[in-house]
Amino acid sequence: MPSTPDLKATLTLPQTAFPMKANLPQNEPHRLARWASLGLYEELRKARRGRPTYLLHDGPPYANGPIHLGHALNKGLKDFVVKSKTMAGFDAPYVPGYDCHGLPIEIKVDEKLGHKKLEMPAPAVLEACRAYAQKYVDLQTSQFQRIGCFGRWAAPYKTMARGYEARTLEAFYGFPEKGFVYRGLKPVYWCIHDRTALAEAEVEYQQHTSPSVFVRYKLTSDPAAIAPSLAGRDVATIIWTTTPWTLPASMAVAFHPDFEYVALAAGEGPNAPVYLIAAALAEQVAAACKLRTTKELARFQGAALDRVTFQHPFLDRSVLGVLATYVTADAGTGAVHTAPAHGADDFATGQRYGLDPTSRVDAGGHLHVDPAAWPFAVPPAFEGMKVWAANPIIVAMLEERGALLGGGELEHAYPHCWRCHHPVIFRATEQWFISLETPVKSAQGQEKTFRRLAIEEIDKVVWDPAWGKERITNMIATRPDWCISRQRIWGVPIAVFLCETCNQPIIDPNLNRKIVDLFEREGAEAWHTTDVAALVPAGSRCAGCGSHNFRKETDILDVWFDSGVSWMAVCEADPDLRSTYTLFQNQAGAQCRPEVLYLEGGDQHRGWFHSSLLTSVALRGRAPYSHVATAGWTLDELGRAMSKSLGNGVDPVDIASRMGGEIVRLWVASVDFREDMAASENLMARCAEIYRKLRNTFRFLLGNLAGFNPAADAVDERELLPLDRYMLARTRELVEKIVGPDGKSGWYGAFEFHRVYQAVNEFAIVDLSAFYLDVLKDRMYTFAPTSLARRSAQTVLWRITEALVRLVAPILSFTADEVWEHLPQIAGREASVHLALFPKPEEIFAEDATKLIAEWKRLFDLRDEVFAEMEAERKQGKIGKGLDARVEIAANESDAALLRSFGDEALAEFFNVSEVVIRSPRGVNKEGAPARPAVVALPATGVKCARCWRYTQDTADYGAWQNVCARCRGALEEMGFTPPNIEQPQTETTS
RNA sequence: GGAGCCGUGCCUCAAUGGUCACAGGAGCGGACUUAUAAUCCGAGAUCUGCUGCUGCAACAGCAGGUGGGGGUUCAAAUCCCCCCGGCUCCGCCA
């Protein structure tokens, strides 16, 4: 077979410097450096200045470790939002932040400093904490940037910054000044390991085994007053508790006023002991306490037990019978041991009855008995012991004294400290509280409670998904007052002076301003280094007792308060954000009001969403956001939460370094973040596979745009070939779905990133790779570059690429920017794709896309038939590729007309075959069409063109080039190629 | 105890009332060597029922089948109810 080796050189094959292999781990850092040198974030701000604003306010991650997948998801989603809003034309600044104060860091620093800490002055300890937090601020910043997140990384907000600390304190002062805050004795969750109060948000429930004991409380008031039949009997009640260590603080026994109680005699005779227990529980209690034959002596309402008295089982004092509706009949005895110092309900009851709420447990959890009530000469064995150690001792003492009626162990969910994971206790201490029942005035001047107003504000916010509204509403509706004080050091001091005599705080706005200014200048350390006298004006007197001696409060603020005032410390204060935020605050309900979005994991309903709402409603009378989106949890492939113990975690930093930050981003885009999401090495590898497909599609697009000069070569939309027009219509459809008719709604507008991912993926693989680009090869490779047909295709390829690169830019930020650089250069183009705007549907294709696509539907059905037939031929080895085939279609009239309207060439291209013959149908009945057109695929006839591989009837030798079809000959002539001299064979290298 | 989510082929998943349920991966079969560390085409869910036959097998066709069951509807993966399985969050236990 004679060959013409140089004929191949006359083809216009794809040509591009855009590499097939991405080498993401190596190349992404280079692109990051380019963005940095370009000052891209600042450029974006400049480019969008004056446009409508969109504010995504960053929830600060805690700066105490490297980032994990949840962080990557969180920041990735935010980056999609910010970038897509920016490309939709909004000015969307993004100031990332970090949560820096708090126990975890202080504990880490404690471990590092060891006993040295005790000798160090407070400012030095704070300095160590600051350094520790800063280390992780820097680490996380570099990690977030590594996965391509844009933002003001050079100046993130930090809750430990001087300005932030000053704003936090200012926010705090707002509460007492407006009457939201009280300081009082109250039981709070208390971690005896960390020696601090905890907020509800800081406890987690874990399984814990507690002793479970039934204790006899002997009645000391007149039994006949309860029921006449009890006169003269030895009466007692039985309480059940799982915390024997609270018994020294037992001040009352609570009964439900409406429950029925029985008096049971245990045994025969007038001397048998009698027990008062709830009727519903009598059987259970009798069994647990092994009461033998029981006989009911009386039956009465719990209300009858109000203010009866009992003897404490081991202390020399009496215990009051009280009534409370929280007593339940599903566990215990119906008689609830009440220790006001160690339970919220107990405390409330104690207040109603005037009981002593003093805690005999110190900050470290050591028990101390009230000497006045201790009836024996020697101190109790549990004196000074930790509560857990005291439990068995107290139980033994009960047993010894005959007060223990039953016992055992109970495994139950018990609150633990979320930081140190030790079980926590309830302990009444002096704390600062924000009262949810504070009366406030709404904007309309109506009186309501703080709680009520907060709930009303929740209602004005868009919650996504919608059930978030109900969730946070329930939380606010039922939560207790917010305990905002902590007995630690690493945080914002509650910078208040207390009266040495009566503990009354000084609430003086002028003094408060002075201290805020001090914090602004010197940071929170100033509270530790400045003397009382330097701040409190001379001659100040306590409003309560008139004393003029004051001391500094040493508690710090709950860290949830810190981050919860970020709307004030950042949005209201930061020069880049405040004008937008002020507009947001003042334009409620107005059209021009900018959106303020909070986007975090669902756990923040009780965290940041919650604390931010409360502070903003209290201080500004409105919610700090207009839109709250929540993400689900990242789980492993089997749907389990990721944990160190399971070893099923996926490290985004590791994935970025091995596969690329782009792969992490693609994974984030691939999942529906509103639900729980699966992640694993395996799934990441799948994303990498998808990435390669997308990248290769871009590469092929770019390769076929080589030499295309849009200004000179682009074909007017009306002159485009039908197939090319069809693809523009498809592209328009895609654009419309992704960015909406206006270029700013659609799936990006609704944060439906996984749909963008799916649709782009499908478009690239199905519409482009498997169809359009495949079919186009013949035209792209063999036609003269000057030909209308080829320029028509290029025009469309160019528009598709320009659209696609913008559509994926928020997600594939690295790759899109790389593609951008390889696109045909046009005047006035932005330096980065990220500075560009999303395409608008009508810019892609001005006509009715839906109609055109519907028209093509029938053609694609026929194409499927053709392919099925060709596959059969292929199986028999009669043809190989499509161009080896000739297809005959016996079509009914409408099909035939449709097919003929495209012309033979276009049809052959569409089916990717050498020849298409349309025949009138045989065997078609008169009424109408056959069920399906008769399609026959046959080996092509004619001679194969050596250049374009089509079989044609007009293939002939062209000089020394053998077997060149007439179309190729025309193209060669137009391109100025002449056949090589027959006598002088072409040498291998020319020019 | 409360709230909620998920269940689609071996795997990952799309599609929230409308044609024979999208696509990808893996595996299988094939083509191409003009996207080549590529590209293209094809077959492909388990099971049940019915029909074709004297009968059986194979095969073919039809129907049903989106965890199971029921309902609304001309029409359901999609809406409603119940159940099963998996998961998450919240709360509580004196």
A877-904 per-position pLDDT tens digit? 777 788 888 888 877 777 788 888 888 8
Kindly report, residue by residue over A902-949, the tens digit of the pLDDT: 888 888 888 888 888 887 665 443 334 443 456 777 888 889 999 999
Strand B within 7 A of A451 CB:
no
Q: Contact at 8 Å (CB) between A488 and A559? A: no
A203-219 vs A309-311, strand pairing mode: antiparallel
Residue A115: both structure tokens together: 């006993």
- pLDDT grade for A855, boundaries at 50, 70 and 90: confident
Judged by DSSP in three states, A152 sits in: coil
| DSSP 8-state assignment for residue A830 | -
pLDDT greater than 90 at residue A851: no
pLDDT, position A921: 61
CA nearest A429: which of A483, A368, A498?
Answer: A483
pLDDT greater than 80 at residue A693: yes
Q: Contact at 8 Å (CB) between A773 and A702? A: no
The whole-angstrom separation of Cα A33 and Cα A814 is 12
Q: Contact at 8 Å (CB) between A606 and A640? A: no
Q: Which nucleotide is nearest to A693 (CA to C1')?
A: B38
CA nearest A946: which of A925, A921, A964, A966?
Answer: A964
pLDDT, position A928: 40
Burial of A97 (0-12, 13-18, 19+ CB in 10 A): buried
pLDDT, position A931: 38
Kindly report, residue by residue over A336-353, the tens digit of the pLDDT: 888 887 777 777 777 777
pLDDT, position A201: 61
The whole-angstrom separation of Cα A167 and Cα A524 is 11
Sign of CA dihedral A939, A942, A946, A949: negative
Judged by DSSP in three states, A315 sits in: coil
Q: Contact at 8 Å (CB) between A51 and A90? A: yes
Q: In this structure, how many other beta carbons lie within 10 angstroms of the beta carbon of residue A60?
A: 24
Sign of CA dihedral A340, A359, A103, A162: positive
Give the bases of strand B that a protein CB approaches within 7 Å.
2-6, 11-15, 19-20, 22-26, 29-43, 86-94
Amino acid at A510: N
Could you tell me the distance in Å between the CA of residue A690 and the C1' of nucleotide B25? 9
Cis peptide bond prior to A465, omega within 30° of 0: yes
Q: Between these two residues, A381 and A747, which has the higher pLDDT value?
A: A747
Strand B within 7 A of A469 CB:
no
Angle CA A678–A680–A685, to nearest 5: 115
Strand B within 7 A of A863 CB:
no
Among chain A residues 327-386, those with CB within 7 Å of any atom of strand B:
327-328, 330-332, 336-337, 343-345
pLDDT, position A482: 87
pLDDT greater than 60 at residue A985: no
Task: Specify which of A414-418, A578-582, A762-766 reaches the highest per-range mean pLDDT.
Answer: A578-582
Kindly report, residue by residue over A417-454, the tens digit of the pLDDT: 776 777 788 887 888 889 888 888 776 777 888 988 99
Strand B within 7 A of A605 CB:
yes
Spell out the residues 6+ positions from residue A326 whose beta carbon is closer than 8 angstroms to its own.
A254, A345
The whole-angstrom separation of Cα A360 and Cα A381 is 15
**CA dihedral defined by A294, A295, A297, A303, rounded to 10 degrees?**
50
For chain A, how big is the Rg over CA atoms in Å?
39
pLDDT, position A411: 67
Question: Facing residues of A890 across strands?
Answer: A919, A934
Spell out the residues 6+ positions from residue A566 whose beta carbon is closer than 8 angstroms to its own.
A57, A59, A60, A97, A157, A159, A612
Q: 0.80 cut: is pTM over it? A: yes
Among chain A residues 813-832, those with CB within 7 Å of any atom of strand B:
none
Kindly report, residue by residue over A37-84, the tens digit of the pLDDT: 999 999 999 999 999 999 999 999 988 888 888 889 999 999 999 999
pLDDT greater than 60 at residue A571: yes
Kindly report, residue by residue over A237-277, the tens digit of the pLDDT: 888 888 888 888 888 888 877 778 888 887 777 778 888 88
Mean of pLDDT over chain A:
85
pLDDT, position A986: 47
CA nearest A627: which of A584, A588, A582, A596?
Answer: A596
Residue A468: both structure tokens together: 């978030």
When pLDDT is averaged across residues A154-166 and rounded to a whole number, the result is: 95
Could you tell me the distance in Å between the CA of residue A636 and the C1' of nucleotide B36? 36
Q: In this structure, how many other beta carbons lie within 10 angstroms of the beta carbon of residue A275?
A: 29
Strand B within 7 A of A949 CB:
yes
| DSSP 8-state assignment for residue A567 | I
Between the alpha carbon of residue A413 and those of residues A168, A205, A299, A419, A698, the distances in Å are 35, 6, 34, 17, 55
Could you tell me the distance in Å between the CA of residue A796 and the C1' of nucleotide B15? 28
Q: Between these two residues, A88 and A273, which has the higher pLDDT value?
A: A88
Question: Which CA-bearing residue is nearest the C1' of B40?
Answer: A770
The whole-angstrom separation of Cα A866 and Cα A294 is 91
Q: Contact at 8 Å (CB) between A221 and A308? A: yes
Question: Could you give the percent of chain A with pLDDT greater than 70?
Answer: 94
Strand B within 7 A of A738 CB:
no
ipTM: 0.85
Strand B within 7 A of A13 CB:
yes
Residue A457: both structure tokens together: 């504000």
The whole-angstrom separation of Cα A821 and Cα A838 is 17
Question: Facing residues of A211 across strands?
Answer: A409
Q: Between these two residues, A35 and A286, which has the higher pLDDT value?
A: A35
Strand B within 7 A of A960 CB:
no
